Amino acid sequence: MSSGEIDKTLLAFLNGLSRRQYFGEDQFSDQFLREEILGNIDVEDYMGMLKRFQTIITTMASGDMDYAQLDAFLTSQMKKRQAPLTEVEAATVRRFWKNQKNKIHEQLSAQAVWDSQLKAINWRVDVQSKARHIDQLNQPSAIVEMKIGKSCTEEVSDIVRFEVDAQKLSGILSQVGDIQTAIEANMQA
């Protein structure tokens, strides 16, 4: 085999491993990685390779390594006495990290947020055409719907709907303005 083939195979293995580990893509099972990507290598060889590269990816991801740190880390991995990385493997890991670093970092950040987030907001304005009292006729009000969910998923866990008139809306906007001012003040600090 040429080093280009080994490089592509290892890169595919690293991508599959990271997609399973960080993005929850279960189709990248051990069986799939071993048989389809690595060409049905021996189970024992696969388990050693899996452990080795899982450790490398986890170390890079947990340290959120920049490229200088990555080079130092890979150099130390190449100088290990037991199972050192080859030049081709190090170059492949470098290319993998260059392509996946930001995606993995964003995914880990999203998973670390425990609180719910606002996923969407919808609204409409209604004008009352029937009322018990004449002064309530033709009074506009807003119907607001907010979709809330966990930050690490696209799923919406709660939907909040409410109606506000012009006076209540003014109060809400005032409070949102206060929140914006507080956030901007903290960003500048």
* Tens digit of each residue's pLDDT (9 = 90 or more) over 9-65: 999 999 999 999 999 898 999 999 999 999 889 999 999 999 999 999 999 999 999
Domain that holds residue 78: 3-112
Report how many domains make up the chain: 2
Q: Is the same domain home to 18 and 102?
A: yes
Q: Is the same domain home to 15 and 95?
A: yes
Q: Is the same domain home to 33 and 93?
A: yes
> Any idea what DSSP says for residue 103?
H
Residue-level pLDDT at 3 = 46
Structure tokens at 101: 């670093």
* Tens digit of each residue's pLDDT (9 = 90 or more) over 115-148: 778 888 999 998 877 767 777 677 888 999 999 8
Our CA dihedral for 66, 60, 109, 157, rounded to 10 degrees, sits at: 150
Q: Is the same domain home to 16 and 94?
A: yes
Please state whether beta strands 116-127 and 158-165 pair in parallel, antiparallel, or not at all (unpaired). Answer: unpaired
Structure tokens at 99: 């392509």
Strand boundaries in 58-152, DSSP class E = 116-127, 140-150
Angle at 81 between CA 76 and CA 86, to 5 degrees: 60
pTM listed for this prediction: 0.61
Domain boundary among 58, 91, 112: 112
Q: Is the same domain home to 90 and 131?
A: no
Q: Is the same domain home to 34 and 105?
A: yes
**CA 167 – CA 82 distance, rounded (Å):** 72
Strand boundaries in 78-157, DSSP class E = 116-127, 140-150
Q: Is the same domain home to 102 and 146?
A: no
Structure tokens at 142: 């807003």
Instruction: Indicate the SS3 state at residue 106.
Output: helix
Domain boundary among 79, 112, 145: 112
**CA 129 – CA 139 distance, rounded (Å):** 8
